[in-house]
Amino acid sequence: MSRRTFAFSLASFALGAGGGGAGQNSVSRSSSKITLSATVNLGIEAGQALGTLLQVRGSGSMDVISALGVPQFYNHYVRNNPRMLHSFAKKGDQSDFVVTELGTARNDNPRYHVFVLDGVLIDGTNRQYYDEGSNTWVNLPTPWNGTTFAAGEQINYAHWIGSGLFVSTDKGIYYDGVKIVGYSGPTYKPSNGSALFHNGLLFTSWDDGYIRVYSWTPGGAVGSPISSFALMPSHFLRAFGILNGAVYAISGYGRAIKYDAVANSWAYVSQPESVNEFYCLMQWFDELRLGDYPNGDQWHLTASSVTRIPDFPPEEAGAGPNVREIQAMTMYGGDMVLPLFPWGVVHRHDTINNAWHYQRLYTAPPIDMSNGPYIDTFGGNTDWRQRLPCAGIWKDGAFTVGSNTPGNLQAPDYESVPNRDEYGKVWKLVRPHAVSGELSWKTVPTTFTMEISAAGIVTKQDGVTISTVAGFTPSQLEGTDPLTVEFGNGIYGQFPGSIVSTSIQQE
């Protein structure tokens, strides 16, 4: 067995452009094992969007066949775990998701806020966690990770920042067990996508229509806002997102706003076409993608403009053109995964072939030209349209959740809905050769490695395995030689830290 090893420092390496000498930025499908490594400085944890560590692509700039990085998605109800490392390798398989239900007991309160923390699925809506061994949802302990909640308080999402847990709820924001931001007034509360910490600034939004920015150091107190921005009348915030170190916000009435950190001010991004609502954001290479209502289309968001991508994704066979909504987005296996309302359909975009595939999770009624399920059946009642309001990645799969329109499974006519139990489900969606696991944040140089071989796709940090999934030989990788290796930029956006050195090995 022969081994070819190339190693070089950042001094001889251009981010996103390949390696130093000839041949050092490519790998061959004829290899039995490919090992790619990047030693990086993450810096102090401050809410960074880590983006792409490394990727392998074909001849096209978006023909990403394999990658290692942290997908960035910011949905209305939950956001990504900033430490969730995802790796995948594609071999051209276009099979449907293998769908399994997580937990079998019906829940009258749909699980809108499902996220991953320390490898466990958390249902923040009902303050429960998923126990894999028993396939049941179990109540979280009180206190949970040092945080005590009020009766009925729901967790929007939570993730670690340094050694403390950052928690956004419908009552306020906590860090390391201490409430650092509470109600803005007697009647206003945080909106679902209301909290983002990034580079020393805490961004919040309340349902009084204001965005507030605080200067904050984790572990310290939160003082008065350093800026407040009034959204347009009747607007409210759906979510915050990050693009190339800049913070953006999207409103429920279809506008995007950019924060200028130097001027400490907000400004609406130019948008030539209007839309009713934006629901979610996701990093896609060097832009953010937005999901809308009522077209069910994606939009490009760059630093200077917001533009619509018509019929992206296309309508489901037999469906009417009205009242479509991208309620959440995630990245899984190198593909966009978009759950859509009103028919409970998951769309998957195969980037390499620019092809859409969709799969319906609800079994009834048949898709038709109406504005959603059971509307004609129940005399115009729109409560039983089929929502998938949450999405994310966990272990070897993606996941989404079911709900009806109001999020109340005892809404009118509930006794007559034949598949009512499906509206409260959590589904896991699995396709081959993709896996997620949480990295350890270190303030000294740390090495991330992805191995692709018949033994599996194995992701390591400093030699310790983070995740593994059944693999295949590099000869099965989609595309043709040469396959280009890139570090520090790609499908999940730019890596904001510094790259100390990189290595490419083939056997």
SS (H, E, C) 73-100: EECCCCECCCCEEEEEECCCCCCCCEEE
Instruction: Find where tokens 């400093």 sit.
Output: 462
What is residue 476's predicted lDDT score, i.e. its pLDDT? 87
Cα distance between residue 87 and residue 393, in whole Å: 11
pLDDT, tens only, 191-224: 666 799 999 999 998 777 889 999 999 999 999 9
pLDDT, tens only, 394-436: 999 999 999 999 998 989 999 999 999 899 999 999 998 999 9
What is residue 18's predicted lDDT score, i.e. its pLDDT? 34
How deeply is 64 buried, as exposed, middle or buried, from its count of CB atoms within 10 A (0-12, 13-18, 19+)?
A: buried
Measured in degrees and rounded to the nearest 5, phi and psi for residue 12 equal -105, 20
What is residue 108's predicted lDDT score, i.e. its pLDDT? 79
Cα distance between residue 501 and residue 487, in whole Å: 10
Task: Verify cis geometry, omega within 30 degrees of 0, for the bond prior to 71.
Answer: no
Please list the residues that pair with 400 across neighbouring strands. 391, 427
- Flag residues of the chain having pLDDT under 50: 1-23
Cα distance between residue 242 and residue 247, in whole Å: 5
Task: Note every long-range contact of 362-370, with CB atoms under 8 Å and residues 24 or more positions apart, other chains counting.
Answer: 362/386, 362/402, 362/419, 362/422, 363/419, 363/422, 364/418, 364/419, 366/318, 367/316, 367/317, 367/318, 367/319, 367/343, 368/318, 368/319, 368/320, 369/318, 369/319, 369/320, 370/320
Listing DSSP states for 166-186 in one string gives EEEESS-EEETTEEEE--SSS
* 3-class DSSP assignment, residue 12: helix
What is residue 19's predicted lDDT score, i.e. its pLDDT? 34
Mean pLDDT of all residues in the chain? 90
Q: What is the DSSP letter of 422?
A: G
**C-alpha 467: how far from its chain's center?**
18
Q: Which pTM does this prediction carry?
A: 0.93
pLDDT, tens only, 92-115: 888 999 999 999 877 778 899 999
CB 230 within 8 A of CB 209: yes
